[in-house]
Structure 1
Amino acid sequence: MTFYTFSEQQLRGFTENVFLTMGCPQPDARLAADVLLRSDLRGIDSHGVARLSGYVRLWEKKRINAQPLIKVVHETATTATLDGDRGLGLVVAPFAMNIAIEKAKTYGSGWVSVKNSNHFGIAGYHSLMAVEQDMIGISMTNASPLVAPTYANERLLGTNPMCYAFPAGKYPAVVVDMATAAAANGKLEIAQRANQAVPEGWVQDAAGKSSINPNQLKEGGSLLPLGSDKDHGSHKGFGLGATVDILSAVLSGANYGPWVPPFVAFLDPPTDPVGEGIGHFLGAMRVDGFRPAQDFKDHLDNWITRFKKAKTVDPEKQVIIPGEPEYNSENERKKNGIPLIDAVVNDLNELAAKLGIEGLS
C-alpha cells in the first residue's frame, strides 16, 4: 500500500470540478467540495474524496438531483421540515442547518428535519456551523441498512451517525461525532482497499457469527451496533441508532430502517419505499439562552483542562477530548497535505477519465 500526498487546494479543485461536471451550480459544487475536504482534513478519510465515485454513481442512476429545489414543507417558529428534492446531502444538510441557526438567533433554538435527501458527509461539518455562531450544534442522519439490531442477523439500520458540538474558549470545540454502529462502513471500505482484516466485533456473517472479513457485507453479513454484541452493550448502540432513524426519518417523512435507499453499490433501493429519500435531523441552540456564552466557554475550558489532567493507566498517554484528534489533524494536513492511498488515487483518476476532466497527478 502506497500513500500519495496532495495539497488541500489540489483536492478541492478536483472535487469541485467533479460536482460541476455532474451539473451542480457553482455555489453548490463549492459547498459539496468543502464538506468532503473538511472530512479529509480532519482525518476522517472514510467520508472524504474517497466517496466521490459513490455520489457520481448515484447521479448516473438519477438518484441524485444536481440542481435541487430545496423547500420548506412544514414550519413553526422554532421547527421546520425540508424536502431536499433528491439533492446532494452535502448541500441539503448545510441549507437545513442555516435555517436552524436563523431560528435559534430569534427564538433561542432551531430544529430542522429533512426528507428526500442523500448522504451528507461527516455530521461534524454541520454541527460546527452552529459552533461558529456560539451555539451548540446537533446533526444526525440515517443511512444504508447495514446494521443488525441486537440478537438479529438481518440488516435493518444504518450506521446512523450523530454529532454534538460545543463551543469552547481557549480550546477547540468539543465535537462528539460518531457512528452508532461498531464502525462506519467507510472504515470497512478502507480495509478492503488496503486488503486488511477488520477488528473482531465490527461485523458478523450471514449466520450471525463474528467475522474479521472486511468484505462480509457483500456476502450477506452485517455491521454490528455500537457495543458489538449482546454481552458488550450492543443494545445501547441499537437504541442510539434507532433514535437517529426516528428523528431523521420517521419525523420528517424520509425512508427508515430497511427502506432507506443505500449509498453502497452492492445494495439496490427498495421497491416499496415508505418515505422519500434518506433523512437528516439538525439543531442549533444558543448558549446564551442558558447562561452568558463566555461563562459557558470559560467553564467548558475548565472542564477540558481537568479531564486532560486525569490520571491514566499508562503515564505515557493522556485523556483525549472528543474532537481533539480531528482538530490536530486539520492543522497538520492544512500545512503538510492530505495523504491518499494508491487505491483511492486510482479510483479518482478512473473517475476523472470517465467524466472527461483532469485527474490527480
Structure 2
Amino acid sequence: MSSLLFQENTLRTFTECIFKAIGCPEKDAVLAADVLLSSDLRGIDSHGVARLSGYVRLWEKQRINTNPNITIVHETATTATVDGDSGLGLVVAPFAMNLAMEKAEKYGSGWVSVRNSNHFGIAGYHAMQAVKKDMVGFAMTNASPLVAPTYTTERLLGTNPMCYAFPAGNYPPVVVDMATAAAANGKLEIAQRAQKPVPAGWVQTSAGESTIDPHALKTGGSLLPLGSDRDHGSHKGFGLSATVDILTAVLSGANYGPWVPPFVAFLDPLPDLPGKGIGHFVGAMRVDGFRPVDEFKQNMDRWIERFKAAKPISEDCPVIIPGEPELEAEKLRKANGIPLTEAVVKDLRALGEKLGCGL
C-alpha cells in the first residue's frame, strides 16, 4: 500500500486542532499532539496520529474526559498514586512522570502509579523525559486484553508495554521500549491496512493454532506473549506482562487482566469492573544517587562502543543498540516527512472534516 509524506508541523497542527475540537485546553492539546508525533517521528506508526480517531470515538462515548482534574490520591515522600479523572493518557502520564521526577530530584527516586486513565501513547515518550535530567526513566502501562497467557486461548492480558531509558555521554540514550506480547496490536493493524500476513508466532486462532492472518483477533483469536509459545519462552513474556499488569493496575486501583476496558467505543460500561480506567506506572532514579553522573556516562559510552563492536553474524546486520532504529527514523522523518498510508490519510481527513480541522 502506498504512503503519502507529511511534514511534522503539518501533522502537529492538525493533531492539536483535533484535540482542541473535542474540548482539550490548549496546553493539553499541545502535549497530547507531542506524544503522538513523537511516536510517528520515531517510526512507531501504530501509536501515532493513526490513533486519533480512536481517541475521538472514546470521547464521543464519554469514556474520555478532555478537561480532567488530575489528582494525587495517595502519597509518600518517594511514591504516589494519581487518579487521572478519565483523562487522555497522553496528558495523565506526563503529569505522573513530572511528579516522579520531582520526587527523584528531592529524594533520589520517585515512583508513581496511575489509575483512571486511558491509552498513553508510546512508553518511550514518558521514560525519556527522565533522561533529560540525568535520571534513569521507567514507564509502563496495561492495556485491553488481547493476549493469551501460555497454555490458554483466553485473552487475559494486554500487550502491556514497558520502557527503560538510560542517559549516555557522547551517544544518544539507550531506550528499551517494547511490548511484552510477541507483537503490539498496532502492528496487526498496520498489516491489515497493507493487506499483508503477519509473521508466524504473533497470533493464534481461537483453537490455539498458529496463524499468519492479521485479522485473527476478529475471529476469536489472540495475541501471543513475548516468546510466542512455551518451547520458545512464552512463559517469560507472560511473566513480564503480568508484572506490568500488577504494577500499573493492581497497585494503583485501575482495572486489570480481562477487565481492562478496550480501546474501542462502547455505550455501557461493564458492571463488574474491579477498578478505574486503565493503569500506568512510571518512575525516575537520579544517576548521582548511585555514582557521579560523568562516571556513569563514560561507562555507558564504553558499554555502547563495546556492544557496537561485537562481531556480527553478517556484515549487513551489525549489532543494534536499543533505541537506535527509532533515532534513525526520527532523523529521516524530520528531514523528509512522516509517511502515512492512504487508509490512515483517508481516516484522518474524514475526522478533520467532521471536526473542522484541515489536513
Stretches of structure 2 lacking an aligned partner (at least 5 in a row): none
State, as a whole percentage, how many aligned pairs show the same letter.
74
CA drift of 1:69 comes to: 0.1
Which residue of the partner structure matches residue 55 of structure 1? Answer: 55
Which residue of the partner structure matches residue 261 of structure 1? Answer: 261
Q: Deviations over 1:203-254 (max 9, x none)?
A: 0111111111111111111000000011110000000000000000000000
Which residue of the partner structure matches residue 349 of structure 1? Answer: 349
Which residue of the partner structure matches residue 211 of structure 2? Answer: 211
Distance 2:11 2:271 in 1: 37
Contact 1:97-1:126 at 8 Å conserved across structures = yes
1:280 counterpart = 2:247: no
Distance 1:291 1:21 in 2: 47
- Residue type of the alignment partner of 1:111: W
Which residue of the partner structure matches residue 136 of structure 2? Answer: 136
- Residue type of the alignment partner of 1:16: E
Q: Deviations over 1:51-81 (max 9, x none)?
A: 0000001000000000000000000000000
Contact 1:261-1:268 at 8 Å conserved across structures = no
Contact 1:96-1:282 at 8 Å conserved across structures = yes
Distance 1:57 1:328 in 2: 33
What SS does structure 2 have at the residue aligned with 1:340?
strand
CA drift of 1:266 comes to: 8.9
CA drift of 1:262 comes to: 0.8
Which residue of the partner structure matches residue 153 of structure 2? Answer: 153
Which residue of the partner structure matches residue 67 of structure 2? Answer: 67
- Residue type of the alignment partner of 2:346: N
Which residue of the partner structure matches residue 126 of structure 1? Answer: 126
Distance 1:105 1:279 in 2: 24
Instruction: Write the mapping of 1:84-99 to structure 2, written as runs, cut at 5 A.
Output: 84-99=84-99
Please, what TM-score do these two structures have when normalized by structure 2?
Answer: 0.98
Moved over 2 A (4+): 264-271
What SS does structure 1 have at the residue aligned with 2:312?
coil
Contact 1:173-1:323 at 8 Å conserved across structures = yes
Distance 1:177 1:271 in 2: 34
Distance 1:202 1:267 in 2: 31
Which residue of the partner structure matches residue 195 of structure 2? Answer: 195
Which residue of the partner structure matches residue 111 of structure 2? Answer: 111
Distance 1:52 1:218 in 2: 21
Contact 1:260-1:277 at 8 Å conserved across structures = yes
What SS does structure 1 have at the residue aligned with 2:73?
strand
1:302 counterpart = 2:302: yes
Structure 1 pair 24–267 and aligned structure 2 pair: CA distance change class (3 A):
closer
Which residue of the partner structure matches residue 43 of structure 2? Answer: 43
Contact 1:254-1:278 at 8 Å conserved across structures = yes
CA drift of 1:350 comes to: 1.1
CA drift of 1:317 comes to: 2.0
Q: Deviations over 1:138-189 (max 9, x none)?
A: 0000001000000010000000000000000110000000000000000001
- Residue type of the alignment partner of 1:208: G
Structure 1 pair 115–140 and aligned structure 2 pair: CA distance change class (3 A):
same
Which residue of the partner structure matches residue 317 of structure 1? Answer: 317
Contact 2:227-2:233 at 8 Å conserved across structures = yes
Distance 1:289 1:270 in 2: 45
Contact 1:218-1:266 at 8 Å conserved across structures = no
Paired residues, number: 359
Contact 1:308-1:320 at 8 Å conserved across structures = yes
- Residue type of the alignment partner of 2:340: L
CA drift of 1:357 comes to: 2.3
Distance 1:241 1:269 in 2: 24
Structure 1 pair 142–268 and aligned structure 2 pair: CA distance change class (3 A):
farther
CA drift of 1:331 comes to: 1.4
Contact 1:144-1:264 at 8 Å conserved across structures = no
- Residue type of the alignment partner of 1:310: A
